[in-house]
Amino acid sequence: MLLFGRMYLPTSTLEALYLKRVKPTTQFRITGVSDGRLKSGGTIMAMMQHDFGKWSGEYLYSTDGALIGARGLYNFGRDPRKQPNPPPRTSDEKAIGRFSMGAEFYYGILNKSAGMSTGLRYTTLPTHPNAPTTMTLTLTPLMGSLSATYAIKAGETASFCSRFDFNMYSYESDLSLGCEVWRREDVEKEDFAGVLKARISQTSGIGLLWEGRLKHLLFSVGAGIDLRRKDQLVRAVGLELQYSS
């Protein structure tokens, strides 16, 4: 079981999380937000999650509009967690990548609106001879939006990703580039002292985030930069501290 709470200052916005593992393949999750600026002063969402390896599913309910929804993901090919020892020499065992397909449906009872989206993912397996790669394609037919991503792990301490968004109704598009660079505490050890995350986008500008650790203190500091606004170049600056005993 996990209990977590976080408060934002000076707005006094409160977030809460309750997570309970019911079975080895099932867990129950409740999240809540308390904020006077939101309708009814906040919102609560309950979610039941199932993960059986080959497929996974989620069922949710949110008090925001009395929203109900369901999500599902199916992985093609065999389940690598159930391979015999030693593994058989078949064509399926020599596969270097795996396809996954998912979909979600949701319906708002109060506003009587529905929606759906579908997605396709390809990711390489450890048997792939080159750098680990993941590609995704997501389509939301009712909104007319399409999103494609390409991510690659370039070495042990760096990852890079690109995302292209396009709307078939308005013809609006956006290209985003991002990266993560990790810093080790010691070259001979696998412990990491921190990670630098950066992104640049046509619409949201530049984002920088550094997450690090100082003994038992975990901290995150970041900033958002909008190059299109000369009067307010730095759009936002944030700091988060966590103490782990």
* pLDDT tens-place string over residues 9-21: 778 889 999 999 9
Answer whether residue 74 is part of any domain: yes
pLDDT in the model for residue 84? 53
Residues 107 and 19 placed together within one structural domain of the fold: yes
Residues 3 and 108 placed together within one structural domain of the fold: yes
Answer whether residue 73 is part of any domain: yes
Strands, E assignment, the chain: 2-8, 13-23, 26-34, 42-51, 55-62, 67-75, 97-108, 113-124, 133-140, 145-153, 158-167, 173-184, 192-201, 205-214, 217-225, 234-243
What size, in residues, is the chain? 245
Whether 243 has a pLDDT exceeding 80, the answer reads: no
Residue 123 tokens read as 């990711």
Answer whether residue 2 is part of any domain: yes
Residues 111 and 187 placed together within one structural domain of the fold: no
Q: Is 225 within 8 Å of 207 (Cβ atoms)?
A: yes
Q: pLDDT averaged over the chain? A: 87
pLDDT in the model for residue 93? 45
Q: What is the mean pLDDT of residues 7-35?
A: 91
pLDDT in the model for residue 184? 80
pLDDT in the model for residue 187? 61
Q: What is the pLDDT of residues 147-166, one digit of tens each?
A: 999 999 988 889 999 999 99
Answer whether residue 133 is part of any domain: no
pLDDT in the model for residue 214? 82
pLDDT in the model for residue 188? 61
Answer whether residue 151 is part of any domain: no
Residues 25 and 105 placed together within one structural domain of the fold: yes
Residues 186 and 101 placed together within one structural domain of the fold: no
Whether 91 has a pLDDT exceeding 60, the answer reads: no
pLDDT in the model for residue 11? 80
Residues 1 and 108 placed together within one structural domain of the fold: yes
Q: What is the pLDDT of residues 45-72, one digit of tens each?
A: 999 999 988 899 999 999 988 999 999 9
Mean pLDDT is lowest, of 20-29, 78-87, 225-234, for: 78-87
Q: Is 192 within 8 Å of 185 (Cβ atoms)?
A: yes
Look at the chain and report how many structural domains it folds into.
Answer: 2
State the pLDDT confidence band at 94, using cuts at 50, 70 and 90.
low
Work out the number of other CB atoms within 10 angstroms of the CB of residue 88: 8
Residues 6+ apart with CB under 8 A from 163: 147, 148, 149, 150, 175, 176, 178
Answer whether residue 41 is part of any domain: yes
Residues 177 and 108 placed together within one structural domain of the fold: no
Answer whether residue 120 is part of any domain: no
Q: What is the mean pLDDT of residues 209-214?
A: 89
Residues 22 and 111 placed together within one structural domain of the fold: yes
List the domain range (segments joined by +) for residue 72: 1-80+96-115
Does the global pTM surpass 0.95? Answer: no
Answer whether residue 140 is part of any domain: no
Q: How many Cα atoms sit within 13 Å of 73 on the Cβ side?
A: 16
Residues 105 and 215 placed together within one structural domain of the fold: no
Q: What is the pLDDT of residues 96-136, one digit of tens each?
A: 888 999 999 999 998 888 999 999 999 998 888 888 999 99
pLDDT in the model for residue 87? 53
* Cα–Cα distances in angstroms (integers) from residue 129 to residues 57, 84, 122, 159, in the given order: 31, 23, 16, 17
